[in-house]
Amino acid sequence: MLEFVSVASHPEYVAPKMLSFLKSHELTDKIQVAQIDPQYADGEKLSETYGVDINQELNCLAFAGKRDGQIRYAAVVVLYGKRVNSGAVLKHAMDATKPSFANLDDVIAMTCMEFGSITPVGLPDDWQVLIDSSVKELDEVIIGGGRVDAKFKTTPQILAQLPHAKFVDQLTK
């Protein structure tokens, strides 16, 4: 079992940029964090090793698209195992053409997060956070913590309060 604690009680579990964001948005008591062994960070391994309900696990995927010559970025939050509907739904939500997975090196450099643990918490100010509407049905969710050795637990309602966040219908197929 994972032992989730408030970020306020264990700030050392959180990457500096995420911690700064959580403090400035008064979320240190609304988002919990747990340390994990990085080799079990993936959904199925996390579920098997730590007894996490796989139906509570979310993936956060970084997408990029263009509008008027500018690159737009979005963190797309979906239930584990679901595929992103990267066609018209994502284009419309991002207000961008041809959205596709963002360049990993760029994402890591821009977000100061580790590969395998991208999170919608603490993203650059110009990023959107697009959350599949099916996530609203859950009481609690587990998502990457910005570091591959950490997971966050919170509610869909808290995720929806993040800057530039919104629920999007039919974001997965």
- Residue 93 predicted with pLDDT over 90: yes
Instruction: Grade residue 34 by pLDDT with cuts at 50, 70 and 90.
Output: very high
- Give the angle 51-154-42 at the CA atoms, nearest 5°: 45
- Are the CB atoms for 95 and 130 separated by under 8 Å? no
Domains of the chain, CATH where assigned? 5-168 (3.90.960.10)
How far is 88 from 96, CA to CA, in rounded Å? 10
- pLDDT of 43 reads 87
- pLDDT of 139 reads 98
Tokens of 139: 């009481």
Instruction: Grade residue 110 by pLDDT with cuts at 50, 70 and 90.
Output: very high
pTM confidence score: 0.95
How far is 54 from 46, CA to CA, in rounded Å? 8
- pLDDT of 1 reads 84
- Residue 134 predicted with pLDDT over 90: yes
- Residue 15 predicted with pLDDT over 90: no
